[in-house]
Chain A
Amino acid sequence: MSMLQILDSSGNNHPELEPNIPERKLVKMFEYMILVRLLDEKGMRLQRQGRISFSIPSTGQEATQIGAVAALNSEDWIFPAYREPGMAFYRGFPLVDLVNHWFINEKDPQKGRRLPGLFGSKKYRYVNPSAPIGTQIIQAAGAGFAYKYLKEKIVNIVFFGDGATSSSDFHSGLNFGAVFKTPTIFFCQNNHWAISVPLSKQTGAASLADKAKGYGLPGIQIDGNDILAVYHAVFEAAKRARAGEGPTFIEAVTYRAGPHTSSDDPTRYRPKKDLEKWLKLDPIKRFEKYLISKKFLKNGQTNKIRSSFDIEINTLIAKAEEYRPPALETLFSDVYSDLPWHLKEQLDEIASLQRRSI
């Protein structure tokens, strides 16, 4: 299978495929790539300093998330895996909510219940992610059925990694999506690693995109470090979906340049040369060259973008550390739509223990 590429690794453009994106939007896309990279660095540092418990970087995978979200309408739904936080930021998810979520404090919209990095937002149509792998794929197909049933011109995109293509929910997701012709884009971030397990241990297929054929779906492979290729592929898939032509499977070939999470040490399993090769294919540098060549970006502007985000985030971190943990009641709320007697009783028990001195 040939891989779709619009910007090559030096940032040279193939004009016949270049999507028609206004300058302002291109610069916004670039800014959010920078933001994702910066937040990765900050998250990892805070975790190493013991100030937050966990971090999930997506370094090296900025083009997939930002290219995809930029190609969708704001009412389209996103079913993330967990390495796509930039999609929420691009839509306006407030950084203050992210930082409070990192610190799992009383201002955390998810009430301090999730590992830092696992956040969602109804307002920005970015579904709260799971942690077990692949579960969102079949859910996205079901959600796609809903838009179709409700006659809404909405599509959805579901993200997952190469490891998830081995899961039963991947199989059901593509299968149900194809059978019910849901307006769903199945977007695989093939970053080559499922924690320590390489792609070669996930599949015997020549490419992941080949798998689509067995489900009766179109499957394409794209350069996932090329934001214009990502934009183009998602835009076309969304058009198909909106026209009632059903799902598309996109395999974006990229690379997880960082660890799986802050709990992982990739030096235990990843060949150094492998990483070095991919670092040269950095999606941000590539897009930067393109924007400079188009005169949409000036030399030195990248640093300015970065430092302005940096100041904003540092202020938020300082505040977030001052807030208290969520209220005790939040241990029991949201299990059900109401608070059944047994949870009331357990809340009373813990509350009375709080009043007791040993």
Chain B
Amino acid sequence: MMPELTLVESVRLALEEELDRNDKLIVLGEDVGPNGGVFRATQGLLEKYGPQRVLDTPLSENGIIGFAIGMALMGLKPVAEIQFVDFIYPGFDQLISEAAKFRYRSGGMFTSPLVIRSPYGGGVRGAHYHSQSPEAYFTHTPGLKVVIPSSPYETKGLLTSAMREQDPILFLEPKRLYRAFKEEVPSGDYTIPLGKARIAREGEDVTILAYGAMLHVALEAAELASKNQKIECEVIDLRTLVPLDIIAIENSVKKTGRMISITESPKTSGFSAELSAIVAERWIEYMEGPIMRVTGYDTPFPLSLEQEYLPSAKRTLDTIEKVYNF
């Protein structure tokens, strides 16, 4: 029988197996050593692989990312943890101006295929410095690939793929799902290719595009819509935002004629705006209702009113009805 793992245990297993397979892979970050990471995503790795492969670094995000870029330029495979993605901004320059541009700016001569893993998102009462969803800053940057898993099984397959990519990857882990549920996760070599979405629930009436923690909000809302109003939603787990699986989106919206996306980041210029624009530009003639977004609000991430801020099944259901009854 396959072991049942939480999402964070699945991260750990993916790292461990890839450390085993690839002796050029180095894990680095703050507290990833004896402490095993503040979420325990690297637990036991130092003991097993030693201080040359599992590095506790100085407390410096630009340092971690810049150092990892240097390793990657020289042929190592750094997998760096940014403790919370809310802390990534000092390293933004290194990721945006350096990692994302090395291949292009050097005419393909130099590449820095690092992986940055980082917990993102709300729902854990972390307030604005432990809850953000800044994926749109990164999807707006040519040269980066952005991956966000939604379950333990998905996490291992996607992270393993990410660690074998030739391009720099931002791998955002939905921290509210770290220990939310367990799922069977095979040990050994399996991958989920980047750029391929998955239909998480089939339906004929409304397409819901989601990723990460919001996938589960989408699924919950879809069940409610089915039970209460007999509206059947098709829920798509995008898995990777860049590159995006345009075929999966096309097939679904052409079938349903309605589209909603859910993201927990602020609404203005969020990734959901991109999804809406893609569908509007290409398939407006199939649309039977407005293309709508369920998102966080345009405020810094709150604390006390976190549940009101975050997209919920109720809000999503409300939006499903608006789109369906248009």
Does chain B have a CB within 8 A of A169? yes
Identify A149's interface contact among B26, B62, B242, CB under 8 A.
B26
Could you show 24 A-B contacts with beta carbons less than 8 Å apart?
A109-B109, A110-B109, A113-B104, A120-B109, A122-B110, A128-B106, A128-B110, A132-B93, A135-B66, A138-B70, A142-B74, A143-B70, A145-B71, A146-B75, A147-B74, A149-B26, A169-B66, A175-B60, A175-B63, A176-B67, A334-B104, A334-B107, A336-B143, A342-B244
The answer to whether residues A132 and B71 also contact, given A108-B107, A336-B143, A341-B243 and a CB cut-off of 8 A, is no
Are A143's CB and B58's CB within 8 A? no
Are A139's CB and B66's CB within 8 A? yes
Q: Look across to chain A and name the residue whose beta carbon is closest to the beta carbon of B144.
A: A336
The answer to whether residues A335 and B104 also contact, given A172-B66, A176-B58 and a CB cut-off of 8 A, is yes
Q: Look across to chain B and name the residue whose beta carbon is closest to the beta carbon of A79.
A: B70
Does chain B have a CB within 8 A of A127? yes
Are B93's CB and A143's CB within 8 A? no
The answer to whether residues A176 and B94 also contact, given A127-B110, A143-B73, A334-B104 and a CB cut-off of 8 A, is no
Residues of B within 8 A of A127 (CB): 73, 110
Does chain A have a CB within 8 A of B83? no
Does chain B have a CB within 8 A of A140? yes
List chain A positions with a Cβ less than 8 A from chain B: 77, 108-111, 113-114, 118, 120-122, 127-128, 130, 132, 135, 137-147, 149-150, 168-169, 171-173, 175-176, 179-180, 333-337, 340-342
Query: A128-B105, A147-B74, A334-B106 are known contacts; what are 17 more A-B pairs with Cβ within 8 Å?
Result: A113-B107, A130-B98, A135-B98, A139-B70, A141-B67, A142-B73, A142-B78, A146-B74, A146-B76, A169-B63, A169-B93, A171-B60, A172-B63, A173-B66, A176-B58, A334-B103, A337-B103
The answer to whether residues A142 and B71 also contact, given A336-B143, A336-B145, A337-B166 and a CB cut-off of 8 A, is yes
Residues of B within 8 A of A147 (CB): 74
A146 CB to closest chain B CB (Å) equals 4
Are B167's CB and A149's CB within 8 A? no
Are B97's CB and A132's CB within 8 A? yes
Residues of A within 8 A of B165 (CB): 337
A294 CB to closest chain B CB (Å) equals 39
Are A145's CB and B67's CB within 8 A? yes
Q: How large is the interface on B (under 10, 10 to 19, 20 to 34, 35 or more residues)?
A: 35 or more
A79 CB to closest chain B CB (Å) equals 8
Residues of B within 8 A of A118 (CB): 105
Most buried by A among B70, B165, B167: B70
Q: Kindly state the separation between the CA atoms of A118 and B52 in the bound complex, as whole angstroms.
A: 34
B277 CB to closest chain A CB (Å) equals 12
Q: Look across to chain B and name the residue whose beta carbon is closest to the beta carbon of A147.
A: B74
Are B143's CB and A335's CB within 8 A? yes
List chain B positions with a Cβ less than 8 A from chain A: 26, 52, 55, 57-58, 60, 62-63, 66-76, 78, 90, 93-94, 97-98, 102-111, 113, 142-143, 145, 165-167, 195, 242-244, 246
B249 CB to closest chain A CB (Å) equals 11
Q: Kindly state the separation between the CA atoms of A118 and B73 in the bound complex, as whole angstroms.
A: 18
Q: Look across to chain B and name the residue whose beta carbon is closest to the beta carbon of A158.
A: B70
The answer to whether residues A135 and B93 also contact, given A128-B109, A169-B66 and a CB cut-off of 8 A, is yes
Q: Kindly state the separation between the CA atoms of A121 and B113 in the bound complex, as whole angstroms.
A: 18
The answer to whether residues A138 and B94 also contact, given A145-B67, A146-B71, A341-B246 and a CB cut-off of 8 A, is yes
Q: Look across to chain A and name the residue whose beta carbon is closest to the beta carbon of B195.
A: A340
Residues of A within 8 A of B143 (CB): 335-336
Residues of B within 8 A of A173 (CB): 63, 66
Q: Look across to chain B and name the residue whose beta carbon is closest to the beta carbon of A148.
A: B52
The answer to whether residues A149 and B243 also contact, given A138-B66, A142-B67 and a CB cut-off of 8 A, is no
Residues of A within 8 A of B111 (CB): 337
B43 CB to closest chain A CB (Å) equals 23
Residues of A within 8 A of B106 (CB): 110, 120, 122, 128, 334
B234 CB to closest chain A CB (Å) equals 21
Residues of A within 8 A of B76 (CB): 145-146, 149-150
B278 CB to closest chain A CB (Å) equals 9
The answer to whether residues A138 and B110 also contact, given A147-B74, A337-B103, A341-B246 and a CB cut-off of 8 A, is no
Are B104's CB and A142's CB within 8 A? no
Most buried by B among A109, A132, A147, A168: A168
Residues of B within 8 A of A137 (CB): 66
Q: Look across to chain A and name the residue whose beta carbon is closest to the beta carbon of B55.
A: A180
Q: Kindly state the separation between the CA atoms of A139 and B98 in the bound complex, as whole angstroms.
A: 9
A243 CB to closest chain B CB (Å) equals 19
Are B58's CB and A175's CB within 8 A? yes
Residues of A within 8 A of B52 (CB): 149
A23 CB to closest chain B CB (Å) equals 35
A116 CB to closest chain B CB (Å) equals 13
